[in-house]
């Protein structure tokens, strides 16, 4: 299979190349075009504007985009240009291609919801993104759905399958992963890792919030399954099987680096009061940060596992996290 990966030089792209190149021919599409092991050739985005500018492609994995800015410093127009504009360009090319039959778009759970209401987040939710990152991703999703299965946009969840498609020989998968991590990529684990490594006690032990993560190994297995198995088009959430509390995550970090966990279970009311004062004094711990540090964000992967015909992800959340954390010191 000839596979075109946009954003091929990024963390996810690099891991997909290693995983897929054994059985497939990989081409890249990126803003830079250096040679890369496992990639036959990397083209510039201008190649999409040239007739026969690309070889015959069977499947496209669209990764190119601007990652979530945790400091909220990136301008909305930049997010739009990268996360929406490039998506429109590559998807138009896909729909016009006579050979490409599968299109995988990497969105994010943040396009569905900034906060999870209820026990966990499923695909049956009305998209309510907050901030430029999630808002531009949902616009990219909507563009794809409009071109592929337009009547789905009239549904509250924008859910679609092959029966909704206006073309009969193509399939589209919108993947919404939660936080992706793996060896060499700290992601949002960096702050917590730094706290634990320095031996600083964690003061929010009284909060038993739970969060989902996506191990890069599990993600590679899922993407290969979408490309090789008969999986219906649609929106799929992605995460590991197990959600972890922050306290459990700290214990995992300590196990990985050989340190003892220091978790303080200070009463919630007291810590909320401290955060409120921090908001008045413009300190790092304020009500918004307190909310982010203590909220639940559990993502259901039931739909994607059912579609792939698997009972469990191959890598346990804890094992994937330990591999990631141990790579930080290398």
3-state secondary structure 151-165: HHHHCCCCCCCHHHC
Q: 71-80 contacts: CB < 8 A, separation 24 or more?
A: 72/131, 74/132, 74/133, 75/132, 76/132, 76/135, 76/136, 79/132, 79/133, 79/135, 79/136, 80/132, 80/136, 80/139
User: Of the segments 110-114, 182-186, 236-240, 261-265, which one has the largest average pLDDT value?
Assistant: 236-240
User: Domains in the chain, ordered, with CATH?
Assistant: 2-186+213-239+299-314 (3.40.50.720)
- Please give the Cα distance from 26 to 1 (Å, whole number): 8
Mean pLDDT, rounded, for 15-38? 92
In this model, does residue 298 exceed pLDDT 70?
yes
In this model, does residue 81 exceed pLDDT 80?
no
Q: At what angle do helices 86-96 and 132-148 cross, to 10 degrees?
A: 20
pTM given for the model: 0.92
56 DSSP assignment: -
Q: What are phi and psi of 171, to 5 degrees?
A: -130, 150
- Please give the Cα distance from 164 to 201 (Å, whole number): 53
In this model, does residue 12 exceed pLDDT 90?
yes
Cα distances from 226 to residues 47, 74, 194, 247, in angstroms, run 26, 32, 36, 34
Q: What is the per-residue pLDDT for 270?
A: 96
**Residue 67: pLDDT band by 50, 70, 90 thresholds?**
low
**Residue 330: pLDDT band by 50, 70, 90 thresholds?**
low
Q: What is the per-residue pLDDT for 84?
A: 73
Q: What is the per-residue pLDDT for 279?
A: 94
Mean pLDDT, the chain, whole residue set: 91
Work out the burial of residue 192: count CB atoms within 10 Å of its CB; fewer than 13 is exposed, 13-18 middle, 19 or more buried: middle
Give tens-digit pLDDT for 245-288.
999 999 999 999 999 999 999 999 999 999 999 999 998 889 98
In this model, does residue 68 exceed pLDDT 60?
no
Beta strands in 179-238 (DSSP E): 180-181, 210-211, 214-215, 234-238
Q: Give the residue, 75 or 100, on which the prediction is more confident.
A: 100
67 DSSP assignment: P
In this model, does residue 77 exceed pLDDT 70?
no
> Which candidate, 233, 155, 245, places its Cα nearest to that of 205?
245
> Which candidate, 104, 22, 94, places its Cα nearest to that of 61?
104
């Amino acid at each position: 299979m000839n596979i075109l990966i946009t954003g091929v030089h990024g963390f996810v792209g690099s891991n997909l190349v290693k995983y897929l190149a054994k059985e497939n021919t990989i081409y890249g599409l990126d803003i830079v075009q250096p040679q890369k092991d496992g990639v036959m050739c990397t083209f510039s985005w201008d190649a999409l504007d040239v007739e026969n500018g690309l070889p015959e492609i069977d499947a496209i994995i669209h990764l190119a985009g601007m990652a979530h800015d945790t400091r909220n410093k990136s301008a909305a127009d930049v997010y739009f240009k990268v996360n929406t504009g490039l998506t429109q360009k590559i998807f138009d090319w896909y729909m016009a291609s006579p050979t490409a039959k599968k299109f995988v778009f990497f969105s994010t759970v943040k396009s569905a919801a900034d906060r999870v209401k209820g026990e966990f987040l499923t695909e049956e939710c009305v998209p309510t993104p907050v901030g430029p990152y999630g808002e531009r991703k949902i616009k990219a999703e909507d563009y794809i759905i409009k071109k592929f299965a337009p009547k789905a946009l009239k549904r509250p969840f924008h859910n679609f399958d092959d029966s909704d498609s206006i073309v009969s020989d193509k399939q589209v998968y919108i993947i919404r992963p939660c936080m992706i991590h793996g060896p060499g990529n700290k992601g949002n684990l960096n702050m917590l890792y730094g706290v634990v490594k320095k031996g600083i006690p964690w003061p929010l032990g009284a909060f038993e919030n739970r969060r989902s993560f996506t191990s890069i190994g599990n993600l590679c297995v899922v993407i290969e399954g979408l490309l090789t198995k008969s999986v219906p088009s649609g929106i799929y959430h992605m995460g590991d099987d197990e959600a972890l509390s922050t306290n459990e995550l700290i214990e995992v970090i300590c196990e990985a680096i050989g340190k003892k966990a220091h978790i303080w279970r200070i009463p919630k009311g007291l810590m909320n009061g401290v955060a409120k004062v921090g908001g008045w004094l413009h300190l790092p711990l304020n009500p918004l940060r307190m909310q982010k540090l203590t909220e639940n964000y559990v993502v259901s992967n039931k739909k994607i596992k059912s579609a792939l015909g698997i009972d469990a992800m191959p890598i346990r959340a804890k094992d994937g996290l330990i591999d990631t954390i141990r790579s930080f010191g290398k």
